Amino acid sequence: MTQATAESSPTTKGERTRRRIVERTAPVFNVRGYAGASMRDLVAATGLEKGGLYNHFGSKEKLALAAFDHSVSLLGDRLAAARASTDDAGDQLVAVVRAFAQGASKPALPGGCPIMNTAIEADGTNPELYAHARDAMTRWHRLIGAIIKEGIAARQLDASTDSYEVATVITSALEGALMLARLYDDVAQMDRAVVHLVTYVGTLRCSR
């Protein structure tokens, strides 16, 4: 969620090309899937030829992993920024929920949530990619856990709040709702989930 925020510094020529490849292929992978994206698609998206891609990444698999991590970092940045927008833990949870929900109407990346897409596609077929998806989801759960821990310490959230439960409820509802919103091409599916989650977060606040 936070690891790849600072991709910068030395910027050799090779490094810049590598960055460009990742940025251009990430949406292709996210839309077509990591098996459905053909080398031809990736070549078309990057402008480079196949040899160029293989020079930077040794295999389609490694490129897919890099592209996935990049996609996830986009999402992570969004969520981290949302959290930073306020000091109250409850408000932070709401902000994170809303930040993710924004993906239904203004996607940071075409094709939906890369974590869910990968969790579904790679399940049982691509252990390495699946592990990356798991790690990405874990970082998200930890973000929520951190908010709750600090919120309890600051007496903003009820001391009995179970951070595991909250993480599960929020992430499952949001991922499911994003799928529904895309399936019906209807943001209302996401809006209802957000309303529900905001109410739910309200029940966790201390000063109730």
Partner DNA sequence: ACCGACGGGACCGCCCGTTGTT
Partner DNA sequence: AACAACGGGCGGTCCCGTCGGT
Query: What residue ranges bind a second copy (CB under 8 A)?
Result: 31-33, 35-36, 111-112, 116-117, 119-121, 123-125, 130, 133-134, 137, 164-165, 168-169, 171-177, 179-180, 182-184, 188-189, 192-193, 195-196, 200
Query: In the 8-state DSSP scheme, what is residue 160?
Result: T
The binding track of 3-42 with respect to DNA, each residue x by CB under 7 A or -, is ---------xxxx-x-------------------xxxxx-
Q: How far is the CB of 120 from a second copy (least distance, A)?
A: 4
Distance CA 128, CA 59 (A): 13
Distance CA 186, CA 30 (A): 20
152: part of which helix (H) or strand (E)?
Answer: helix 127-153
Q: What angle do CA 110, 112, 113 make, to 5 degrees?
A: 125
Q: How far is the CB of 121 from a second copy (least distance, A)?
A: 6
From a second copy, DNA, none, which one binds at residue 204 (CB under 5 to 8 Å depending on kind)?
A: none
Give the bridge partners for 157, in sequence order: 205
| Three-state DSSP class for residue 85 | coil
Residue of 3, 59, 105, 203 that binds DNA (CB under 7 A): 59
Q: How far is the CB of 58 from DNA (least distance, A)?
A: 6
